[in-house]
Amino acid sequence: MSRFAFYLLVGLLMLIGVGLTAYRHISFDVPWVPGAQQKVWDIEAQVAFTATGGPVKASLALPENQKGYSVLTENTASSGFGLSYLDDLPGRRAEWSIREAAGSQLLYYTVTMLESDNATPAAIKRLPAPQEVSWERPYDTAAAQVIDQARERSADSFTFARELIKQFDNQRQGENARLLLTQFERPELMLRLLNEAGVSARLVSGLSLEDGRRRQTVSSWLQVFAETPQGNEAVEVDAAAEDINTDWVLINPETGKQGEPDNLLLWEGRGAPMLEVEGGVNSRVSFSMIRHNEPAAVAVRNKLANDELLNFSIHSLPLEEQALFKTILLIPIGALVVVLLRVLVGLKTSGTFMPVLIALAFIQTSLVTGLIGFLLIVATGLVIRSYLSRLNLLLVARVSVVIITVIAIISIFSVLAYRFGLNAGLTITFFPMIILSWTVERMSILWEEEGPKEVLKQGGGSLLTAVLAYLAMNNPWVRHLTFNFLGLQLVLMAFILLLGNYTGYRLLELRRFKPLTED
Amino acid sequence: MLSSWLNRWSRNWTTPGALRARGVVGMNRRNIGYISKYNDRRLYPLVDDKLQTKLLCQKYGLASPEMIGKVASQFEVERVVDMVRDHAGFVIKPAKGSGGKGILVIEHHDGEEYVKPSGARITRADMERHVSNILSGLYSLGGSPDVALVEGLISFDQAFAEFTYEGVPDIRVIVFKGYPVMAMMRLSTAASDGKANLHQGAVGVGLDIGSGWAVRGVQYDRPQFAHPDTGHDIFSLKVPQWDTLLELAAGCYEMTGLGYLGTDMVLDRRHGPMLLELNARPGLAIQMANGEGLRKRLELIERQPDGVPVAERVAFARKHFSRSKEDVANVGMAPIAD
């Protein structure tokens, strides 16, 4: 190919890329920088179940305006099903129905939530009264004792709830607590005990919002009220009545920690079940989410634009796939970092694009945990691999053994980390195991052939590249640009094409060839 | 503080301008401007597989160590003993090995015990296991199955005995479009463990293309004036039969068709220069050993027409790439000591 054709191609790519980017900025009002705008979450709930052949009714709890979040738009997708939104108590629900269905079914509900500090929560219209609870024979005394103990150490409903949960703490479980746990699920047990003690409370479902997550599930939270209505009937709260206090707190039924994490969205806040399916089995609901930074008005407009027939942008894909693309679109940035470091700096790495995959793992694990995990796995792997090399195995067999070893190391470290209460250690499973195995294999051969110094050099080079790639890929500005402006991918490509043509010196060669410029 | 830092920087680092002025070729330029431009990837197997190189050498009549035989499958392993029965010394090497791995040198044997140059003895079973390891790909790139070559032992020229520690010194000549452009000799040292690998601590000695005299020595990329183990003055080194050696190197261009080629040769006491192996991606350390960049020489060759016979190409290179004019005048005559 002649030089002219090459530069024409580069120029063309550059032009189209910049053009697409500018078009998206101008016609869709997508801002260049993240931050100044409001954060908007697109959350998709996927309801899956197996229909048994008869009529089906599926009802899903829907989120409402609440502290920190307000609902912008919502959509559903469900072929063949009738749909109605139910606004009556308890809480808002979507109900899908069909006369006849068999086999596995998928229903989608998508909501756009605006992250805002001044969202007005829907008023609590009634306080749930403590329910009458019945206990089997040995459990009633155990429950009574646990409740007495918590009551002694507490001053009000909130402290009572906390003290109660503390007794079920893994380390401090008493005999009573252990007995009760054999019979009941923990969140449900807490609710029963609170009700038994006459404290007004209910179980609600919260979703942790994290950008780009897929297949998430909701977690149970205890909502404990300050005031307890008398009698066994739920009390209608009159907005005008000053004397009834609707203060409440959220308490984690597992840890007893009080207070709502910042990124928690209460999907179901009325104590009702998340999902009810009649005429189906194996029902479950999972969530995917994505965060945008844009003016709220634009979020709505984009939503409308997505419905156009001729919209081929990836922003018209289902949220689950979009979340996937958010990561995929970052890979070219990692590749660019690798090209820069190899062509311009001359850094040696073990495996050309291995650092990019490690950097992707760092995004999941956070940098420090990732670095420690990587070093632990590779170091342990090298020790074990040095024994394997004495066994004189064929290559494929040897690498397969290394893969199994790496998986074993990862499992052992996960268990150890969990035992020592280091939950961050569990993210070690995000490392790409096959890639790590090849890294161990390559490093080991390098060690045998060139000595430990070369291993340190290439290993250090790989890690440095991975860290730089991580910093570039994890930069909020980069994330914003790559996901919102697909045209930039073409610009990146043009840039890398140009770099592939660079015949000048590498930075490290300025040191290597220094003696040539002397004498 | 800033000035001392700048000082340290300038002692260890140079500028692109200074390197360009010296005509130093960097990795990027080597890859784009020479290797991918002049070396057709189709031809790589000719040099990556030593068996193919060997057969080519026989076809083109280039001197290379005598081939005793090859072993291609596990059930042939036992035949090695018969193969080497009438040869005092021999070498077993993997056809696709790299960096000198998996090479077994036997100086003499009695059919049951085999003696290595270090004096260590191995049994017939040890030797057969080594061959079997080669076949299963233990030493080949990527671990792919390989073929074992059995070659006659080179009795290397005593002229270099004082310049080497254990291993055999080899001579690397870069051949560009058939012209020898730069040469160096690699001397193994105690630090390199008898291997002739520069980055492992072997001494690289730049050789004058015009005469075969040493021009400069480097170890770990830094100047070196005497062999670190034997203490022998590097500048007293001169490669004999220089013209034959350059013609052997230059002839590899016709043989392989590769435009940018690293040729590795040794000097045999009786048979003179012999081709050991070829490299389609020769390194850049040869510039360090010569204290000079490759670029000006490569550009001069790029302007030469194709189809020039070997002898003329060698004469051209000796004329233009010589360090001193006297050497050119004395081509073919006894060397003049410095």
Instruction: Please tell me the predicted confidence (pLDDT) of residue A302.
Output: 57
* Residue B331: per-residue pLDDT: 41
- In chain B, whose CA is at the least distance from the CA of A346? B27
Three-class HEC string of B286-300 = HHHHHCCCCHHHHHH
The pLDDT assigned to A29 comes to 66
CB A49 within 8 A of CB A78: no
CA distance B33 to A100: 70
Partner residue facing A504 (CB), from B22, B28, B142: B28
Best B12, B19, B286 residue to mutate vs chain A (most A CBs within 10 Å): B19
How many other C-beta atoms lie within 10 A of the C-beta of residue A169? 12
Whose tokens are 């209505």? That residue is A229
At B30, phi and psi to the nearest 5? Answer: -60, -45
DSSP codes joined into one string, B79-107 = HHHHHHTT-SSEEEEETTB-TTTT-EEE-
Cβ-nearest to B221 among A343, A503, A515: A515
Burial (CB < 10 A; 0-12, 13-18, 19+), residue A508, is middle
Domain limits, chain B: 33-45+158-329, 66-152
Pairwise CA distance, residues A479 & A290, whole Å: 12
pLDDT score for A69: 84
Report, as ranges of residue numbers, the positions in chain B whose pLDDT lies below 70. Answer: 1, 99, 141-143, 194, 324-338
Question: Do B295 and B23 contact (CB within 8 A), yes or no?
Answer: yes
Under 8 Å CB-to-CB from B51, ≥6 apart: which residues?
B70, B95, B147, B149
Give residue A242's pLDDT: 46
Pick B18's closest partner by Cβ from A346, A394, A517. A517
Contact list in B for residue A449 (CB cut-off 8 A) is: 99, 101
Q: How far is B201 from chain A (nearest CA, A)?
A: 11
- Share in percent of chain A as helix, strand, coil (round to 5): 50, 20, 30
- Mapped onto helix, strand or coil, the DSSP state of residue B18 is helix
DSSP assignments along A234-275, one per residue: PEEPPTT-SSS---EEEE-TTT--BS--TTEEEEE-SS--SE
CA distances A418 to A140, A361, A370, Å, are 33, 19, 16
Query: What Rg do the C-alpha atoms of chain A give, in angstroms?
Result: 29
Q: Give me the sign of the Cα torsion angle B115, B120, B126, B128.
A: negative
Distance CA A94, CA A92 (A): 7
Give the domain A36-123+203-218+261-316 fold: Immunoglobulin-like (2.60.40)
CATH class, B66-152 region: alpha beta
Nearest to A221 by CA among A262, A180, A267: A267
Q: In sequence order, which residues have a C-beta less than 8 Å from that of residue A517 and are 6 or more positions away? A: B14, B18, B19, B21, B22
Indicate the residue of A394, A504, A510 with minimum beta-carbon distance to B13. Answer: A510
Which residue, A289, A320, A274, is CA-closest to A115?
A: A289
Cis peptide bond upstream of A90, omega within 30: yes
Cβ contacts (< 8 Å) between B13 and chain A: which residues? 510-511, 514
Contacts of B204 in chain A (CB under 8 A): none
How far apart, in whole angstroms, are the C-alpha atoms of residue B84 and residue A462?
46
B326 touches chain A (CB under 8 A): no
ipTM above 0.85, yes or no: no
pLDDT tens digits for A63-111? 888 878 878 778 887 778 888 888 776 778 888 888 888 888 888 888 8
A3 contacts on B by Cβ (under 8 Å) = none
Q: Which of residues 134-193 of B touch A (CB under 8 A)?
A: 136-138, 142-143
Chain A residue numbers with beta carbons less than 8 Å from the beta carbon of B22 are: 513, 516-517
Inter-residue contact B172 to B248 (CB < 8 Å): no
pTM for the full model? Answer: 0.69
Report how far residue B211's alpha carbon sits from residue B209's, in angstroms, rounded to the nearest whole number: 6
- Hey, which bits of chain B come out as E strands? 67-71, 90-94, 104-106, 108-109, 113-115, 121-123, 148-152, 170-176, 179-187, 203-207, 214-219, 222-223, 260-268, 272-279
CA A308, A311, A315, A316 torsion-angle sign? positive
Q: Are A14 and A490 in contact (CB under 8 A)?
A: yes
> In chain A, which residues have their Cβ closer than 8 Å to the Cβ of B24?
505, 509, 513, 516
CA neighbor of A263 nearest in space, from A294, A289, A285: A289
Residue B29: list chain A partners with CB under 8 A.
503-504
The verdict on B12 touching A (C-beta cutoff 8 Å) is yes
Pairs across A and B, CB distance < 8 A:
77
Check residue B255 and give its pLDDT: 93
CB-CB contact of B182 with B294 (8 Å) = yes
Positions of chain A with pLDDT lower than 50, given as ranges: 238-243, 296-297, 300, 307, 309-310
CATH superfamily placement of domain B33-45+158-329? ATP-grasp fold, B domain (3.30.470.20)
Question: Which residue type occupies A464?
Answer: L
Q: Do A502 and B28 touch (CB under 8 A)?
A: yes
β-strand partners of A43: A111, A289
Q: How is chain A split into domains, by residue range?
A: 36-123+203-218+261-316, 126-202+219-260, 327-484
CA distances from A420 to A71, A254, A368, A415, A426 (A): 40, 17, 17, 9, 11
